[in-house]
Amino acid sequence: MASEPTLPDASTCIVLLLGNPVEHSLSPCIHNTAFAAHDINAVYAASQVAASDLADAVRGMRALRILGANVTIPHKERIVPLLDSVSPRAEALGAVNTVVARSENDARILHGDNTDIEGFLDPLREKSGLHAQPMTILGAGGAARAAAYALGITYAPTPLTVAARRPEQAQALVDALAPHVDNTTTFAACALDDASSAVRSSRLVVNATPVGMAPNAEATPWPNADCFAPGQLIYDLVYTPRPTRLLREAKARGADTQDGLAMLIGQAAAAYRLWTDRSMPVDVVRNEVMAHLAAAS
């Protein structure tokens, strides 16, 4: 278990999570555990912020001289023009999930980055046989955009199919990302109802939708489990419940499976490094998160 957290005082650094909703977030558990393990005088708090209040929240971050922030749905894209600068990968995605604050000429400068890419790739680094293989992403929102970019710059899938309920949204994602990834990557976009062939032929299938997340644990983004087979890796970015229906059915068909907890902790570890210049004590954090999930179940 992590050591007891330092009691907040006038010198305590503040890190915020900006989103709506935020009640379900595990980020306070993750980061406060890490701060305590490293005896860092900082506190991480989830803050529910309406879209109409986001600009005011960013102004407040400057006034409070915070250490940084995480940004989640629905603000990842909306916050970009409110910041002073963004990293190249955040610019390519058009989305920020991490804000780093620093002082410059007596002003507070806010820099945006996106650590979802590192988090997404973390559990894939130990997998073999992914380069230039066919892959499919279910969904075309922010998580799908991060996954597509990560796969495109790392594995050059041939092809990378993005399947969404609205095929025009999938096509827009493909068009936006194609200039930013390995030029040997080939893209395709289609409606979910037309994705059976792509799913069957894919070495990697990623669920980048929230379908199947608690409390709707018996929902699945892909009800056609007969498309799964040995030799495939099915990666569900949902991390609760563990496992999701999607992963249970994929495993029953002989496929390898990966849930979203590793991505959650991986993106948090990358953000923690940006704020503190220290490596997150991942084993301590994972144990605390598992205990938290067990207590909540």
Question: Which residue ranges form the domains of the chain, and what is each CATH number?
Answer: 13-114+263-296 (3.40.50.10860), 118-259 (3.40.50.720)
Sign of CA dihedral 187, 188, 191, 195: negative
Give pLDDT, residue 4.
58
Which of these is catalytic: 14, 19, 57, 76? Answer: 76
Give pLDDT, residue 5.
53
Whether 76 is catalytic: yes
**pLDDT band, very low/low/confident/very high, at 3 (cuts 50, 70, 90):** low
How many beta carbons lie within 10 A of that of residue 14, not counting itself?
18
Q: How many CA atoms lie within 13 A of 272 on its CB side?
A: 29
**pLDDT band, very low/low/confident/very high, at 106 (cuts 50, 70, 90):** confident
Q: pLDDT (tens digit, 9 = 90+) per residue, 238-274?
A: 988 889 999 999 999 999 999 999 999 999 999 999 9
| pLDDT at residue 1 tops 70 | no
Give pLDDT, residue 296.
80
pTM, two decimal places: 0.90
Spatial neighbors of 198 by CB under 8 A, at least 6 apart, are 134, 136, 159, 161, 163, 188, 190
The CA distance from 283 to 280, in Å, is: 9
- Contact between 207 and 235 under an 8 Å Cβ cutoff? The reply is yes
Q: pLDDT (tens digit, 9 = 90+) per residue, 27-62?
A: 999 999 999 999 999 999 999 999 999 999 999 999
Retrieve residue 34's tokens: 């890490």
Q: DSSP character for 170?
A: H
Give pLDDT, residue 288.
96
**pLDDT band, very low/low/confident/very high, at 68 (cuts 50, 70, 90):** very high
